[in-house]
Structure 1
Amino acid sequence: MAVSETEVFVCNNCMINADIYDLWLKGNSVSEATKHQQNKVSLKKFGATLDDLQSDIVDHYRLFAGLEEMLKTPPRLNHQLMYQFDPETVHMLIQKYYCFDASVMREIFGRKLGTRSRKDLDDISEETGVAVRSVRRQFENAKRVFKTVEELSGRLVDNIQSHYCLHEDLAKSYAAVVFISNNRFETGKKKLNYLSFEDFAACANYMISHWSYSSEECQHHEDMDVDMDRDFLLDLREVKVLMEREYAEEHRGLMLRALQPVMRERVLVEMDNNFRSISKTIITIANGLNHSKESRDIFIDIYEKLIEPWLLMSWTKADAKVFLTAFKDTALQLDVFRSNPKLVKVWERYMATFTPVVLRMYPR
């Protein structure tokens, strides 16, 4: 009698319904999630009842609650034995847990990420239309990432990726949150309401790339790049030489010659008439970066003292770009720069970030 052989494979991998996970992350209750899924799934097709659907969602929510503590320290998910997930599922769980609504993070930006800020979560929920449970998760994630990396040496994005297993784009977004919060930059003024989270994040990442300890020009890469490079900020004081009458007049003359072929006549006249005040503003902002009280106002200073006057003079974003490019290049033609290579590097390092920050902030 022939004996048949049967191979049996037993697997206890946990299955995650990504749609239900999204509903949980958005702060939906079980009943809200059930109603949402009822409208999306044909129960008759699967021979299921509404109670079956709700029971399934309850099971998923219980699983997510059990996973949440591990999600707070993502590397644990790769080493725990309680739940069996394939690598793709682990990646999805982590990335989605740390994703956020840009409108919520825009409100969190610049706030002190401490316990007292939690009283504002209801207001943020009402302002953004995002469920308060989701707002709380996003706030706690930002706070947790900040606390983890604020004292670590090395590149901020690398630290966030290694501790939270996030893809680079998401890590850069959190780096911007950490950098702006650590430096207490003012982002909540009414005049800055037109700027989005993405605008501030782009500006913060420009600063991290050129003004922090992770900048290629920095000599102390081992230091924390949640802070700006202190040596660079001290050296920036030397650019005040551009405010001296002799160099200011020469700089103005070089600007007129450089811009005459490329700038509209009306804009050129306004530039000429206002050059001293514009130059003083750019240099004063540079000097103020060395003082925490003044550096906190960099965004509002750029808007009120540069962008707002330029808008009143009908300057376009293109006009601003042409001016700032020429302002940087013509300064390098002055003898005081040509005889001081160190000053040249400091000036180029400053303007390499200042110019794109101003242009990113310039209303479209």
Structure 2
Amino acid sequence: MNEMVVFVGNHCSINPDIYELWLKGFTVSEAARVEQNKVNLKTLGATYDDLMSDVVDNFRLFHGLEEMLKTPPRLSHQLVYQFSSDTINMLIQRYYSFDASVIREIFGRKLTSKNRKDLDDISEETGVSVKSCRRQFDNVKRVFKTVDELSGRLVDNIQSHYCLSQDLAKAYAAIVFITNNRFETGKKKLNYLTFDDFAICANHMISNWSYSSEDCQTHEDMDVDMDRDFLLDLRELKVLMEREYAEEHRGLMLRALQPVMREKVLSEMDSNFRAVSKTIISIANGLNHSKESRDIFIDIYEKLIEQWIQWQWSKNDAQSFLLAFKDTSLQLDLFRSSPKLVKVWERYMGTFCLCVLQMYPS
């Protein structure tokens, strides 16, 4: 008597290349043509119809998975498709990946159904298909709605609900933070800034100015918002605008920068010190008011960077000035008598300097 052993399984195989084409918005026919150009079908003993059938099967599978990809933890618990943990991770990370050029355009738009319908211009501007633009828009909107009302750290919340890598979660955290605070990023003068420029600045703000900052006294609130107590404390910095402190600070700056700064730059700094100092303090005070805080990027550019470029300051000049401005101020009696104000100043200026230098053209 012959014995037969039969094994039945439903392990699903994913072709990562075809998955990428699906994510990019290719049609079945377009994807098949791309794949056809990559292999010699005859050497594989296959026909174009075989290839087309394989692409159709893959696309059908991807469409079936899409609802689960909208709530990624479901993929690990569902029983319909059998995937390895590495495959599940690949599916999720790639589904939530994005084109920086597309997100750079989405930054300045409200996440509404109307704007979703108007993604054709972004598609034309970036060369990314409308279908892919919509996936990216929907992902941003979904992540935003999920974490907007959650307490705790943004990155942790995003990773918990969407199973994203640390780097991708930080990128989405920056998107959520900028969107929630409605920072102006679409002005023509800011066009030179990339998604990464804004994301780096936003993550500095999240780490130091939001409720997740180590300096924050209450961590119960959401770090999609800036720490309200910190913003209120920033008002105390207005005293630095008073003539007495401004003059003393200017003298300290001259002594600190004379050995390291070019004479022309030092002369311009000396002549314009009070105006520049007032701008830096005014931006700090403006963070208290939502209308003014929205303009932080354009204010930094128009009121500082643009002036310094006209004065032919290099990025190194700007860095020397900012670091000296931050450090020499602590020699003022005002700070010596107020440890709390020192913390507020360092918390503000540490992040402010990083943002200005990130935005400064190389």
In the superposition, the TM-score normalised over structure 1's length comes to 0.98
User: What is the one-letter code of the residue matched to 1:203?
Assistant: C
Match of 2:231 in 1: 233
In the alignment, residue 90 of structure 2 is paired with which amino acid?
Answer: M
Question: CA separation in 2, counterparts of 1:56 and 1:276?
Answer: 69
Partner of 1:168: 166
* Structure 1 counterpart of 2:36, one-letter code: Q
SS of aligned partner of 1:154: coil
Please report how far the alpha carbon of residue 122 of structure 1 lies from its aligned counterpart in structure 2 after TM superposition: 0.6
How does 1:1-364 map onto structure 2 within 5 Å? 9-364=7-362
Deviations 1:13-52 (A, max 9, x none): 1000000000000000011101101101211121111111
CA contact (8 A) 1:111 1:184 kept: no
Deviations 1:283-318 (A, max 9, x none): 000000000000000000000000000000000000
Greater Cα shift, 181-190 or 102-111: 102-111
Give the drift of 1:119: 3.1
Task: Summarize deviations over 1:314-364 as a string: whole Å, max 9, x none.
Answer: 000000000000001111100011001110000000011000000000001
State the distance in 2 between where 1:138 and 1:229 align. 29
Structure 2 counterpart SS, 1:134 = helix
Q: Which runs of 4+ in 1 moved over 2 A?
A: 3-11
Aligned partners of 1:31 and 1:54 also within 8 Å: yes
C-alpha distance in 2 between matches for 1:263 and 1:358: 19
What one-letter code is carried by the residue in structure 1 that aligns with 2:261? M
Q: Secondary structure at the match of 2:288?
A: coil
Q: Distance in 2 between matches of 1:329 and 1:241?
A: 17
TM-score with structure 2 length normalisation?
0.98
- Give 3-state SS (helix, strand or coil) of 2:331's partner: coil
| Count of matched residue pairs | 362
Distance in 2 of aligned mates of 1:76 and 1:220: 33
Deviation at 1:108, TM superposition (A): 0.7
**Cα displacement (A) at 1:99:** 0.2
- Cα distance in 1 between the residues matched to 2:264 and 2:150: 51
CA distance in structure 2 between the partners assigned to 1:276 and 1:19 by the alignment:
58
Which consecutive unaligned segments of at least 5 residues does structure 2 have?
A: none
Confirm or deny: 8 A CA contact 1:110 1:180 kept in the other structure: no
Distance 1:59 1:340, change over 3 A: same
Distance 1:7 1:315 in 2: 78
**Aligned-partner Cα distance in 1 for 2:336–2:5:** 80
For 2:66, the aligned partner's letter is E
Distance (Å, rounded) in 2 between the aligned partners of 1:228 and 1:353: 13
Q: Deviations over 1:67-92 (max 9, x none)?
A: 00000000000000000001000000
Could you tell me how far apart the structure 2 residues matched to 1:120 and 1:269 are? 50
Conserved 8 A contact 1:233-1:289? yes
Kindly provide the CA deviation profile for residues 184-203 of structure 1, in whole angstroms up to 9, marking residues without a partner as x.
Answer: 00000000000000000000
User: What letter corresponds to residue 91 of structure 2 in structure 1?
Assistant: L
- Percent sequence identity is 77
Distance 1:39 1:356 in 2: 47
Once the two structures are TM-superposed, the CA of residue 116 in structure 1 deviates from its matched residue by 2.1
Q: Give the aligned CA root-mean-square deviation in angstroms.
A: 1.1
Letter in 2 for 1:153: S
